[in-house]
A and B are shown apart, each in its own frame.
Chain A
Amino acid sequence: MKKLLNEFAPGEIGVVAKIENCGKIKRRLYDMGVTPGAEIKLVKVAPLGDPLCIMLRGYELSVRRDEAKEVTMEVEG
């Protein structure tokens, strides 16, 4: 099932399917390891509802909802 990263609930795990085109930010996401096939877990959401804290490749990364909505995820079920 396809789902956007910003629709994830805390604790949810999925695999990156595709990153929509959003210019330089896309490049940055790739450099940080958010590439197709990477497993990502949404660890938590900041107290004000944004940004998100995600876990990938063994480390924690913070991204905003605006950036997360460009990331299409493949989840089970």
Chain B
Amino acid sequence: MKFCLAGNPNSGKTTLFNALTGSTAHVGNWPGVTVDKREGSYKKLPEKVHIVDLPGIYSLSPYTPEEVVSRNFILDEKPDVIINIVDATNLERNLYLSTQLLETDVPMVIALNMMDAVEKNGDVVDKDKIEKTFGVPVVEISALKGKNINQLMKVAYDVSQKPRKGSSVIESSSLLKSLFQKTLTLYGEESCQNKVFHAVKMLEADELEVQLYPQIATITAELKKEIDAKSFDDDFGAVVADARYCFLSQHVQSAVKKAKRQEVSKSDKADRVLTHRIWGIPLFLLIMFGIFHFTFAEDFLFLNGIFGLEITNPGWINFFTGMGYEGMLEEALETGEAVVLGGIPSLGVWLQSWMGWLTGSIIDLFAGWLESAPAWLSGLICDGLLSGLDAIFSFLPQILLLFLFLSILEDSGYMARAAFIMDRAFRKFGLSGKAFMPLLMCFGCGVPGVMATKTLENEKERRMTMMIAPFFSCGAKLPIWLAFAGVMFAGQFGDLVVFSVYLIGIVVAIIAAIILKFTVLKGATPPFIMELPSYHLPQFRNLMAHLWEKLKHFIIKAGTIITASIVVIWFLSNFGFTFWNGMVEDIELSILGQIGNVIKYIFYPLGFAQGPDGWKFVVASITGLLAKEDVVATMEVLAGGAGLEAMIGGLSVAGAYSFMLFNLLAVPCMAMVAAVYGEMGSGKRTWGAIGFWVLTAYVVSMVVYWSVSYWWIGLILIVAVIAALTVLYLRNKKKRKAVAV
């Protein structure tokens, strides 16, 4: 049997789905977290039930891809029951969708969710009245607390045993009743199901319906002329929507008794501060900064920078640096200075240092075991596999922490406000505030970011968001910045180096968006009609589910593609073309060394391919196209005895920036390419995106390299870019004016 969950975004469908199937799908307080349908099974009924969680929708009109997915599923896949989940704290708008679902012939049950919140407010909902009005069973549940959900499934099972015929609230509209019945008889000869649904959609002049039955459409259009709908400008979509809401306000308002409420709810109070006219934007920036500070700061709360806090106690230093005292002592003995830790690290840095200690100990352990093993085996395991994985795993705590903070923002409902605050700024670049969330997710990982673009209604906005998504520095790229930050400028301005890369990524994304807006992706600015859900405290269970999802993804990736590529790189960098002769002494003679030394010429204009280690950077960048974790892992393997730091130290500042920017902007990883292909659904467009990323990376790196090397080149380029943008802007303005006239 097949049951499907349908309902408004943010009505608790995914929470119910998780409660029913025991899975840990991603839930958030953001309209449209379920962007594709999801499936699971429920086993407590006489028959095994297959449960499909449809994306949240407001209507069955084909307005967004999610609505089309849901509509097609209900009409074509013929589920046995629709479980219509309804937010009981917001009945009127939620039941608007129910009036449309009722028009299909699929058996249906209404689940009144969030009844606990209704009771807490002191409101009363008359369940029997809703049952009578809609003619389908209604069950009160709380998906969050798992209350009554087995009861709901029993009722759903009983309902599935009896066929149902669609019914429409249009029948009670005096204006539309006869028109509806005439249209319905036109479908009498067609051999289709869900006749009532089709007839109503035809009245609405729904695009998909008109395409499907052009003959009926012509007759209906004639019939409509007899009806006076002048007050609606003869827009029957509006007439039908109005009829639905009229029906709901007649029947539903009397079913709800609202308790007297305090003038200002807690959610409103929070909102007054967070979206304040003056404080809203500074607070938003402060929250963002706070998150990055908690995750990446070496000097937490600037205790050292401002208050001059220094720690000298070896025990505390070991505690804060993950047993780092000994290493610091050695370094100090060389320079003759005292061992001092400047300030305490942030949570992210602190966890990272202990993770480093853990992975370091594991490597030492293996090295001890493999001491007497053949050179190729200990080389493969210690220098190849383990040090490669170590370079990646030690950053896992920071990636997870960043993700946790983003989840808290999402779950609490703040993200929707952030979109609200930022919309005006985003519009300038041809995006809407809704693109904010997918793009912010890209700081964690681009793959969920690209998948979240499904919530955008406008196809051009979706494509544009995906095109600029990789420019936002994701968690996998962080190890590269950190490795460079520790070496450049003698490691003094580490956080500024990392920050500058993030910033350049954002600037490039903005410029790219503007260029796309005026060239490939021309069109009207997308609309911004978005629900702002009430704030609520994030649920611990949800947060842990998010983290678990992320961790699982990371481990699978590390265990498969990354491990495989490390092994391949290790082999290619330790054996020559005549690999049967054994390992090569000089890495330049290895397969990778020889290939790298040929293709490095392509990268000469970027400034990092020159020099004896140049080909290593080239090879690292190319492996980075598969997965960004590979970049540091590859460099670690290729650096050999001299070490990673010495290798990076060989680059000039311009060359180092050029390398980082190439890796920031080029194809992020194969998983991202697959995700973009999935969303764009076209090989041509995906290749277009890949070309766009590589080209942007190449051009930006080259420009930055030459500008940093010779300031006058930079100056000329900046003037040229400003001039070009002005010309584009003016030309577009003229065109718009011409259209307006």
Chain A residues within CB distance 8 Å of chain B: 18-19, 21, 24-33, 35-38, 44-51, 53, 57-64, 66-67
Contact = CB atoms under 8 A, between A and B. Distances in A.
B424 A51 contact: yes
A53 B231 contact: no
Interface in B173-188: none
Interface string B79-112: 0000000000111110010000000000000000
B59 to A, nearest CB: 4
User: What 7 A-B pairs have minimum CB-CB distances, sorted nearest first?
Assistant: A48-B424, A30-B241, A31-B59, A47-B280, A60-B532, A57-B92, A35-B242
A48 B238 CA distance: 32
A17 to B, nearest CB: 9
Nearest to B240: A30
B580 to A, nearest CB: 66
B529 A29 contact: yes
Interface of B: 58-59, 61, 63, 89-93, 96, 231-233, 235, 237-238, 241-242, 245-246, 275-278, 280-281, 416, 419-421, 423-425, 427, 433, 457, 525, 527-534
A59 B531 contact: yes
B284 to A, nearest CB: 9
Nearest to A44: B275
A33 to B, nearest CB: 5
Nearest to A57: B92
A53 B93 contact: no
Contacts of B433: 51, 62
A11 to B, nearest CB: 12
Contacts, number: 121
Contacts of B245: 33, 35, 37-38
A7 B226 CA distance: 36
Contacts of B246: 37
Contacts of A32: 58, 93, 529, 531
A14 B276 CA distance: 23
B129 to A, nearest CB: 17
B58 A31 contact: yes
B529 A30 contact: no
Contacts of B233: 21
Nearest to B424: A48
Nearest to A24: B63
Nearest to A22: B527
Centre residue among B58, B231, B238, B246 by max chain A CB count within 10 A? B238
Nearest to A47: B280
Contacts of A35: 238, 241-242, 245
B278 A61 contact: no
Contacts of B63: 24, 27-28, 31
B531 A61 contact: yes
Contact of B532 (A50, A53, A66, A67): A53
A28 B527 contact: yes
Contact of B96 (A31, A45, A51, A53): A31
29 contacts: A19-B238, A21-B233, A24-B63, A26-B235, A27-B61, A27-B238, A28-B527, A28-B529, A30-B241, A31-B63, A31-B241, A32-B529, A36-B242, A37-B245, A38-B245, A44-B277, A46-B424, A47-B278, A48-B281, A48-B423, A51-B420, A51-B433, A53-B275, A53-B420, A59-B93, A62-B416, A62-B528, A64-B528, A66-B527
